[in-house]
Amino acid sequence: MANTKLGRLAPSAILAMETLAAAGFEAYLVGGAVRDMVMGRQPNDIDIATNALPGQVENLLKGNGRHSAGIKYGTVLGIFNGEEVQITTFRSEEGYEAYRRPLSVAFGVSLEDDLSRRDFTMNAMAADTKGALIDPFGGLKDIEARLVRCVGDPSKRFSEDALRILRAVRFASQLGFSIEPETLEAANCNKGLLAHISSERIKAEIEKMLLADPVKALINHNQIIMSVLPELLPIVDAPQNNPHHLYGVFEHTAVAISHCRACPIERWAALFHDAGKPGAATVDEEGIQHFEGHEAISVEIAQTILSRLKFSNKEASRILLLVKHHDDTIPPNLPGVKRWLSKIGQEAFWQLMSLKRADNLAQNYSCFPRDDEYSAIEQIASQVISGSECTTLSQLSVSGNDLINIGINQGPGLGKVLGELLSMVIDGDAQNEKEDLLRHASRLANSN
Ligand code: ATP
Ligand code: MG
């Protein structure tokens, strides 16, 4: 055991451990929070491991006037210092079913047994209330060497729970670590077992990976990633012989993802945006490649993946919209920008601009920078939005009822007239004033 001292633990963690210790139980901070403290990162969540049984933890919290949010999978959620703390009884896991879940868990084991069931050495450390590190598997050494290494035999650990394979890649992306060679070999050999993992867990891990700095992880571990996203396999070695590009499709994709904002929708859209390029590639007489119409193929590929990974309709339709329009031209003038704001709405507009900027940064940027054009578009959009200029039907100074009141029949024709009025206002061909619009409406209804 190393006698390294961590900095001061979070007051919520200390309070939880002291509450358990005062009742005679062992309690340690474990898992990601210890890893993050060793690395000087802000911990995500506080996990405490204890030899108290779940029922005992719950009674203790209630007896101390501490809120307890109930027991789920043997974990009691307590609130200390206004923060959530997860308290889990030391356990070992026995017999894994279908490469994804233990058949049974046993309580009454030691801290070291509990740490030994954890996935990676950096996640298998504990700390006591004084911040002394307990590190039976060499997590600290691996953190110093920036390595993701399985606890125990990597092949066995990955076949117990194949999700760990993706977790290894995700941690490599989040922490900028390499995967230790034996762990990596086992991950590659066992990647087929990821077929047994639920789409929700796969989605969560890939998303965490995309939200970090994923360029190296995507490129170095593309075969693992492609085992869960096989539709993207054709882009891995696809070239882009075109002066606008420095990278092949896959490297370009990875760099574009890293330039998007840390927004899941934008990052998934960047992952898919050029997926259709291999299917759309043509070569001209000078040997230059073109990819006309690739967006539509990218949309089809994205659709397949999004439905398999059970994205909500709302998330999927926004991602598909961004993929579809990523290469469209937004004219850097008032009517052009207003038309785009009207067509896709404000939120999607800013996401699309972020994707376009990221795409440009991942191309032959120094020769073809588009910052000035994009800044002009964004400046116009900001003015339109802050000036509450009309870009949507709801901002139009006439409603459907107003049109019915002047004798225009309800039905599809009415919607068409409203749409035409909106276009006129956006293009500056009509004022957004009721009188003016009603006059145009009568004329449009008669000519339709
Ligand atoms: P994050 O910062 O993303 O929360 P984390 O390390 O805390 O990272 P969690 O998924 O919250 O990750 O899991 C908490 C701890 O539980 C891990 O640090 C690890 O010790 C253990 N763990 C989680 N998932 C697994 C798994 N599939 N197999 C083995 N141990 C796991
Ligand atoms: Mg965690």
Choose the residue to mutate in 28, 38, 119, 122 for probing ligand 1, maximizing ligand atoms within 8 Å of C-beta: 119
- SS3 for 95? strand
Find the 325 Cα to ligand 2 centroid distance in Å: 36
Q: Whose CA is nearest to atom 16 of ligand 1?
A: 31
pTM of the model: 0.91
Q: What is the pLDDT of residue 36?
A: 95
- Pick the atom of ligand 1 nearest to 208's CA: 3
Q: Whose CA is nearest to atom 5 of ligand 1?
A: 32
Find the 22 Cα to ligand 2 centroid distance in Å: 26
| Res 12 pLDDT > 50 | yes
CB 240 within 8 A of CB 249: yes
Residues β-bridged to residue 27: 50
Axis-axis angle for helices 294-308, 313-325 (nearest 10)? 160
Pick the more confident residue, 97 or 327: 327
CB 162 within 8 A of CB 197: yes
Put residue 73 in one of left, alpha, beta given phi > 0 → left and psi -120 to 50 → alpha. Answer: left
> Which of 324-333, 339-348, 355-364, 427-436 bottoms out in mean pLDDT, i.e. has the lowest?
427-436
| Res 133 pLDDT > 50 | yes
| Res 435 pLDDT > 90 | yes
- Pick the atom of ligand 1 nearest to 167's CA: 27
Q: What is the pLDDT of residue 108?
A: 73
Q: What is the pLDDT of residue 2?
A: 47
Distance CA 305, CA 326 (A): 18
Distance CA 37, CA 247 (A): 37
Give me the percent of the chain exceeding a pLDDT of 70: 96
Distance CA 436, CA 328 (A): 33
What rounded mean pLDDT belongs to the chain?
93
Choose the residue to mutate in 30, 72, 118, 143 for probing ligand 1, maximizing ligand atoms within 8 Å of C-beta: 118
Axis-axis angle for helices 249-259, 264-272 (nearest 10)? 170
Q: Dig out the tokens for 339 from the structure.
A: 């038309």
Find the 402 Cα to ligand 2 centroid distance in Å: 56
First to last CA, the chain: 83
Which ligand gives the minimal distance to the CA of 31?
1
pLDDT digits (tens, 9 = 90+) for 178-218: 999 999 999 999 999 999 999 999 999 999 999 999 899 99
Which ligand gives the minimal distance to the CA of 170?
1
E strands of 229-338, at which residues?
Answer: 282-283, 289-290
